[in-house]
Amino acid sequence: MANKKDVIAGASMAGFSALIYGMTKALPEGAGPGLAPASFPRALAVFIGALSIVLVVQGLAAGCKEDDDKPLFGPLFARMLLFFVALVIYILIIPKIGYTASTAAFLFSSFLMLSPGLSAGRVAAGLVFSIIAAAAVFYIFSIFLGVPLIEGPVDEFLHYTVFRAGV
Amino acid sequence: MHTDIAAALEILFSFKVIAFMVAGIVAGILAGALPGLTATMSIALLVPFTYRIDPPIAGLMILLGVYVGTMHGGAISAILIRTPGTPAAAATCFDGYPLARRGEAALALNVSTIASSVGGVFSVLVLWTVAAPIASVALKFGPFEMFCLAIFGLSVISGVSEGSVVKGFIMGGLGMLFAAAGRSTVFDIDRLTFGIKDLPESGLRYIPLMIGVFAITEALDRVEFRTVAGESAAKVKNKFPTAAQIKQILAPLGISSVIGTVVGAIPGAGGDIAGFVAYDQTKKFSKHKEEFGNGSLEGLTASECANNAVTGGAMIPMLTLGIPGDSVTAILLGAMIIIGLRPGPTLFTDPDPAVRGLVAAIFIGLLTANLLVFPIRIAGAPLFSRVISVAPQLLWPLVVVFCIVGSFAMTGSMISVYIMLVFGIFGYVMKKFHFPPGPLILGVILGPIAESNLHRALLISKGELLPMLSPLAVALLLISVLSVALPFIQGMRRNSKN
């Protein structure tokens, strides 16, 4: 019986190191006494590849550890997946609608996803929290600390009307 | 020296710098009190914002404040809900929680405050004393010795790898590989870009990498595994130790300050190890051994004093050699580079009065943070103890929002956010297979140092190996080999005994 997790991880790492090794062949080889641009990444690819093989061998030899019996995914994996999808959508819409609106939408959707039980009052509280938190974060970073954020119509309204900065 | 201190005081003691430091300490305590928000993650999240702050030293003071604050904050949840806020506070649960259960939570919190502050101040004084002499020795290092030093730093991976050392070294190798990708400053060409144009330069890229690996991974993990109810803890009102109790903890304070500082200075050995070692040693010397594990003030003091004494100790190799001993100091080192400081032996011999003033400001700043945290924690004990009740459905989405703002702030480009997301997924997958994240960061920081110095050494020696092998280089390589081999030998001995 093998430790499947280690075997899978080792085999994947070995494949990745082979890919990197192949990519270093496209890099120029040095002619002088110093290192060539390919030398260091290539040595690392060999190093990772060798350790990955050790990991596979260890996995095959070790037998099934107690930990390997545990499922790979947690009891709330579906919830995590939804949260992750919301995160990806959030990142994709920032450049389109600006920082504050996308942040408020992400915070509210996450609140709905992660809350244990929902009532009308709780949903309303979540909505208010999301809007205030998004606006507060925008104020602190964009206006107070001067960190440039992508601005959409809502941010411009906040920036030039509500917070009256840059006027 | 006096002029450096005067310059440092002038830099530090302005309202703005002190206010930022206090904000950093408070943020650090709050973050440390929340299980899951570690010092590494909190500092990685804050670096992108702090490097824009003027003067840059104010930004660095926030980070030092957060560093000190998180080490303190970890004790709060360890005492109140038996969950260490940071790994360094693991041993604090042994006696802190039993004290809280018998209604002495306030006493436990205040004793931990005293112990933490004493340990922190002691370690900074040691750092201040030994830093310059160590740096003057390190100045004699040539490029090959620097390469060997980087290799020694990487050998630490065997110590910071929880679980499998092989997995730790794979992560270290991957970290070096990720740092090598993109535009090479040594060769002035693009390498391993996977066709991605406009990849930010290595120094700017590794902040999104760290945020992804530490914060996004943790957020996804928390959402997947933890229930959503916030932890509840009893309300805390202040209660201070009596003179007899103070007398009882004096010896543990002395033992643990020294242990914590020494353990902290050893690359790879962090606050958790320091806490356990000090706890064990204090128990051996104690007249009340039976109280350990049942609410002993000495046990609580030992753990808290040692894990905070690590803060100054861990800065010794980072500041004097430019070699971070753990992931927190690796991120602090990155933050110092971003604001224009180059930690390493030359930092202490720089003729520029401005740089010398900044170095003195780091020492005084760290000392001030360790002093300021005391009244802040005493005054804020009732408030800080309530932070653990924050609902996760509010906390973790907000952490993600900070991750995105922080990554974007580094370059002003969405590519940093995409890098953060990719490394968040990478960290999540690697966590599933029990690959430790700490070595990845060490690899990212030390990889470029190793490559550039080996390149220089080979150019100087015209490609010959023998001229490069000075006694110091050989010694460093031997120590590295020993450092890697020791865990394997210990493991084999343990197996043969079993």
Tens digit of pLDDT for each residue in A114-138?
887 778 888 999 999 999 999 998 8
Q: Where are the domains of chain B?
A: 2-497
Q: Which of B397, B447, B458 has its CB closest to that of A111?
A: B397
CA distance B497 to B244: 45
Q: Do A148 and B409 touch (CB under 8 A)?
A: yes
In the prediction, which pLDDT does B200 show?
66
The residues spanned by each domain of chain A are: 4-69, 77-162
Tell me whether residues A40 and B48 touch, CB distance under 8 A. Answer: no
Cβ neighbours, 10 Å, residue A152 = 18
Instruction: Give CA angle at A45 (A40, A47), nearest 5°.
Output: 95
Q: Looking at chain B, which residue has its C-alpha nearest residue A130?
A: B394
Residues 128-187 of B with CB under 8 A from A: 164, 166-167, 169-170, 173-174, 176-177, 180-181, 184, 186-187
Dihedrals phi, psi of A111, to nearest 5 degrees: -60, -45
Contact B373, B69 (CB under 8 A): yes
Proportion of chain B above pLDDT 90, given as a percent: 21
In the stretch 241-260 of chain B, residues with CB closer than 8 A to chain A read none
**Calpha distance A79→A83 (Å, rounded):** 6
Q: Chain A to chain B, count of Cβ pairs less than 8 Å apart? A: 164
User: Which of A99-108, B333-342, B470-479 is the least confident region?
Assistant: B333-342
Subunit contact A35:B223, Cβ cutoff 8 A: no
User: What Rg do the C-alpha atoms of chain A give, in angstroms?
Assistant: 25
Q: Tell me which chain A residue has its CA closest to the CA of residue B225.
A: A74
CA A80 – CA B422 distance, rounded (Å):
16
Omega before B436 cis (within 30°)? no
Which candidate from A72, A74, A126 shows the least CB-CB separation from B225? Answer: A74
Instruction: State whether residue B191 is helix, strand or coil.
Output: strand
Higher-pLDDT residue of B63 and B464 is: B63
Supply the ipTM of this predicted assembly: 0.90
Residue % of chain B over a pLDDT of 70:
92
Q: From start to end of B211-369, where are the E strands?
A: none
In this predicted model, what pLDDT tens digit does every residue of B295-326 receive, in sequence order? 899 999 999 999 899 888 888 888 888 888 77
**Rounded to whole angstroms, what are the CA distances from B29 to B22, B42, B74, B119, B177?**
11, 11, 7, 16, 35
Test mutation, A51, A70, A130, chain B, max B CBs within 10 A:
A51
Mutate to test the interface with B, among A58, A73, A142, A147 (most CBs of B within 10 A): A147
